[in-house]
Structure 1
Amino acid sequence: MEAVTSKPVRTNSVGGLKLSWRDHKYHRFYEVVDQLVHELQEHVWFKSGKAKRRLKGDGLEKLHYSVECLVRDCMAVVLQRKRKSEAAIRKGQYYYSSERPDQMLTYSIHIERAFEGLVELGYLEVTKLGYFDRNGRKDGTPTSRLSRYIASDRLLDLFTTEELKALPAIMPPYCDPELIRVRVKEKDENGVNRKRSVSITETSETLRMRENLGIINNALSRHWYDLEIPDDELSALQKRLADNPQNERIIRMDQRFLHRVFNDPDLQTGGRFYGGWWQNIPREYRQHLAVNGKRMVELDYSNQHPSILYAQASIVRPADCYSGVIKPPLIPDGVTAKDLRDMVKAAFNAMLNSPKPLRQAPKGVKPSKFGLKWAEVSEEIIAFHEPIAHHFYTGVGLRLQRLDSDIAEKVLLHFARSGIAVLPLHDSFLMHNGYEPSLDPVMRSAFEEVVGASPKIDRKEPDKVLLQDAADEDDPFGPVTTDDLDELLADLDVGCENRLRAFRALQRA
């Protein structure tokens, strides 16, 4: 690979950790980034027939950053050469406004130079064009989809056969550049509710949060988390999640660090931990999560938000705040009591989060499945929870999220200071099953410290489900055919074991 001398020397801060750009263990990834940046600087563009002005200084650093993001996004989801998942990219110029917290990404460099240049050079392939349809749905509301792209074979050829077996593990860990983010809802020029990032004032509290995230992410960086399922099943799951029009859920195992997201500049609402790829997997797959090749246990706070509200009112809460709330006249065939409980739980939370009464069922809540109307569901929940009924339709749910995120921070910090990995899922935590006796008392202590009452903690039992056997169905990625003997042998390898071995090798580097 040709040496590149034009790249700026800098220190990269990732997840609160300081990583040397040139010399840390992920140098192979950055070698590829260096080569692509060099080719972009020299590229003769199809339209103009000449090269663009070479970038220097801050512009060159932004080009490196953009190329790193583009390559990471499409390669962190590659399991094998013939099994590539799509990455999404926002191509609208409005997204790269001056108010964006991550000022390293600009439209002129990230889209017009890096993305379009790598497409022209044949390293990226566009698979779907994005669109926005203002009246796309039957009810007249907009529909949209982000543009999608994949890594081309030319890009994959820059890595060795062994590296291609474990690409997600050799990607540098990704974390949102802003460890503390504020996202507020606003209507855009089309009248569509969108979340917009706003700047925050640095205070002693935000500095403390950043420092704590550095400790937590440092502990997470020492361990490898994976799904112990065949790669063909993992590929099918990736495709299933990527089919979300906005691509909000996808498995990218380079996303191993956490950040916090608040809903107001004063940091009084929200604050939950996001960023970990394990937060995007469907519930039934959690039983296949492993840390360093070892199975994990999941403990959660039972009925967490109602528990906090009842504790603040000094009243003992019902044993289950979501069961027995509504007794429909008849549960139709194919619908279970658990389905009814799940509907009540979703409705309960929507009623806490909404700042005003809801005239119709919120998204995802379908009372008609149980022969009910939304007004009946709302009234029954209010009647059942009469001691805390004054909190419904006040938006208190987002303020409760600040409390539950502070509880989570205490749990994560307790173990992180000993270098032990804990994966948060808002009101539940996953860790090596050997630590289960320690996790329960730490969760209790954190809850009592923040709320002033004792919680009920449940152990999540594995779901008794039959996961898709990809061998019995058509492969969504098409038939896997190759004359490459090394690739045929690679198919016999176990993907999660290859990734774990690669991660361990990097840790020793």
Structure 2
Amino acid sequence: MLLQNANDLLFGKSTAFHLWSFLSGQSLFQTGLILWGNVISYQLTDVLRRLVSLDLVDQVKGFYNRSGATQSSGRVSRIWPARHLASEFERLSSFSPVVIRDKRTELVILRDENGKPVEYEDTDDTIAMRDVLRDYNQLLAQTFIDIPELDEGLIPLGGGQNLVIERHVHNHGVHRVFNRSDWKKGGRFYGGWWQSCPKAWRKRVFMDDLPTIEDDFSGLHIVMLYGWEGIDYWDAAEPSEDPYRIPVPSFLQSADQCRKYAKQLLLMAVNAETEKDAFAAFRKKRADEGDETGKRLKDVQLKVLLDALKAKHEPIAKYLGAGAGIDLMNQDSRITEDIIKHFIEAGRPILGIHDSYIVSLGDDQRLRAVVQEAFESVTGIHHIKLKREGIGYQEIMDTLKEDETEGQAKLSEAMHQASIHRTPGYQRRREDFYSYNPF
């Protein structure tokens, strides 16, 4: 298997390994070394020793000193490429092969209460989940997923950070993670670079050189919680009902600001174990987004917002600040699995971002139908609301029938998007992909 930009992964600079792992051959499962979300076993240490013996890799051995019952010191082992190996990787730096995930890589991960991976015995369910993930990763591997406007394959994230969208094992394949040693906790799909992609850039994603659309659930977890109480939220609510609109308190400046804060706080409260945890998470999020007002809100002020939300959503108030999020994630992961299985069978690519899905513009009608079916099958709830980013083919056709002028405008916008300028870097990545793709 060829590792694209392998010099960045292991050889570009000195790479630190968990204490003892490289030198002693101790089980890397025990030491906790995890790469690409997967536990690495003895085979890696054998490879590294062989590379050292061939003078392809240089090393500085680590050590561990236990000087007392409570004090210890040490240094991790470090490796880096020998000069001639580094020059070979440099020579191959412009080569962009397709990366295929090794079938032996674990795709279904179970973690304990501390977030550490644990061993488990396979069941029919885990085998079935793994089979779906392997088929899905193969579908992703044979799909060119990129952004035409990016020349270097880097999305700026701010603060000098970039999101790499070049094809790697660790950013193009997908795995599932379950939590608290319980197959009913968590289970979401992780791994694709598109999950970390800012929304402003996601709408520019192309698949197989075609524009995409994204459908996003409106109030997904709120609707699910109502479902737990036997209520179909969008059926029971007024047609114009906004789940996040509450009276504006005196310490906020506008209805829009209040709605924004209420929405974020409600989602935090759904996932938090306690109200205080929700308040802390809210402030951190506002600080991360550079919001001076939001990050300075005190618990007593956020409590006013949360109490207003509880009053508005009285049937589900007991779930707020009670750690329901991990169970909701399990439920939405099953919805995503059903949707992905349909697209695998159809041989059509799809990207999941937990509560939204990206498909090529020609698959917009298929996506709406499959999302509806999967949501109803898992939750028992019929009514859903989806928000769309982009313009799909069926949407254009339906609009043309109802209003030709508006339909032509949508068609023109879609054609403009399809003909957007492809940077030289994008064209190179596209040519490399289709040249080296083995599927």
* Match in the other structure for 2:417: none
* Match in the other structure for 2:387: 458
TM-score (norm 1): 0.61
* Match in the other structure for 2:196: 280
- AA of the residue aligned to 1:449: S
- AA of the residue aligned to 2:150: P
- 5+ residue gaps, structure 2, are 22-26, 60-75, 392-421
Q: CA deviation at 1:157?
A: 4.1
Q: CA deviation at 1:303?
A: 0.8
Residues 422 and 430, structure 1, Cα contact 8 Å, conserved in 2: yes
**Aligned 1:339-350 pairs, distance under 5 A:** 340-350=258-268
Residues 251 and 281, structure 1, Cα contact 8 Å, conserved in 2: no
- AA of the residue aligned to 2:191: G
- AA of the residue aligned to 2:179: N
Relative to structure 1, the CA distance from residue 394 to residue 239 in structure 2 (aligned partners, 3 Å threshold; closer, same or farther) is: closer
Residues 322 and 344, structure 1, Cα contact 8 Å, conserved in 2: no
- AA of the residue aligned to 1:286: R
* Match in the other structure for 2:431: 501
Q: 1 CA distance for matches of 2:318 and 2:328? A: 15
Q: CA deviation at 1:508?
A: 5.4
Q: CA deviation at 1:395?
A: 1.5
Corresponding residue SS for 1:325: coil
Which of 218, 243, 250 pairs up with 1:329?
250
Which of 317, 320, 342 pairs up with 1:392?
320
Relative to structure 1, the CA distance from residue 268 to residue 197 in structure 2 (aligned partners, 3 Å threshold; closer, same or farther) is: same
* Match in the other structure for 1:217: 137
- 5+ residue gaps, structure 1, are 1-25, 31-67, 76-83, 125-145, 187-194, 243-248, 463-491
The answer to whether 1:268 aligns with 2:188 is no
* CA deviation vs aligned residue, 1:367-404 (integer Å, no higher than 9, x gap): 97256623223222222211111112221111111110
* Match in the other structure for 1:73: 9
RMSD of aligned Cα (Å): 4.2
Which of 367, 370, 373 pairs up with 1:439?
367
Q: 1 CA distance for matches of 2:118 and 2:321? A: 25
Corresponding residue SS for 1:305: helix
**Aligned 1:59-70 pairs, distance under 5 A:** none
Q: CA deviation at 1:99?
A: 7.2
Corresponding residue SS for 1:307: helix
Moved more, 277-286 or 368-377: 368-377
Corresponding residue SS for 1:197: coil
Aligned length: 367
- AA of the residue aligned to 1:256: H
Residues 300 and 427, structure 1, Cα contact 8 Å, conserved in 2: yes
* CA deviation vs aligned residue, 1:40-61 (integer Å, no higher than 9, x gap): xxxxxxxxxxxxxxxxxxxxxx
Residues 263 and 271, structure 1, Cα contact 8 Å, conserved in 2: yes
**Aligned 1:78-477 pairs, distance under 5 A:** 91-92=18-19, 96-98=28-30, 100=32, 104-105=40-41, 109=45, 113=49, 157-158=87-88, 164-167=93-96, 169-173=97-101, 177-186=105-114, 195-232=115-152, 234=154, 236-237=156-157, 240-241=160-161, 251=165, 253-254=167-168, 255-315=171-231, 316-317=233-234, 318=237, 322-329=243-250, 331-332=252-253, 337=256, 340-358=258-276, 361-363=279-281, 364-366=284-286, 369=293, 373-453=301-381, 454-461=383-390
Q: CA deviation at 1:294?
A: 1.2
Q: 1 CA distance for matches of 2:267 and 2:228? A: 17
Q: 2 CA distance for matches of 1:98 and 1:88? A: 19
- AA of the residue aligned to 1:180: V
Q: 2 CA distance for matches of 1:350 and 1:165? A: 43
Q: 2 CA distance for matches of 1:342 and 1:114? A: 56
Residues 91 and 147, structure 1, Cα contact 8 Å, conserved in 2: yes
Q: 1 CA distance for matches of 2:336 and 2:103? A: 18
Residues 351 and 392, structure 1, Cα contact 8 Å, conserved in 2: yes
Matched-pair identity in %: 23
Moved over 6 A (4+): 146-153
Residues 175 and 257, structure 1, Cα contact 8 Å, conserved in 2: no
Q: CA deviation at 1:420?
A: 0.9
- AA of the residue aligned to 1:109: T
* CA deviation vs aligned residue, 1:345-372 (integer Å, no higher than 9, x gap): 3322322222334267223345972566
Residues 261 and 273, structure 1, Cα contact 8 Å, conserved in 2: yes
- AA of the residue aligned to 2:94: K
Residues 296 and 431, structure 1, Cα contact 8 Å, conserved in 2: yes
Q: 2 CA distance for matches of 1:496 and 1:435? A: 23
* CA deviation vs aligned residue, 1:294-335 (integer Å, no higher than 9, x gap): 111101111111111112323335566553135132545xx9
Residues 56 and 84, structure 2, Cα contact 8 Å, conserved in 1: no
Residues 301 and 458, structure 1, Cα contact 8 Å, conserved in 2: yes
Higher helix share: 2
Residues 123 and 153, structure 1, Cα contact 8 Å, conserved in 2: no
Relative to structure 1, the CA distance from residue 212 to residue 72 in structure 2 (aligned partners, 3 Å threshold; closer, same or farther) is: farther
* CA deviation vs aligned residue, 1:12-36 (integer Å, no higher than 9, x gap): xxxxxxxxxxxxxx5xx37xxxxxx
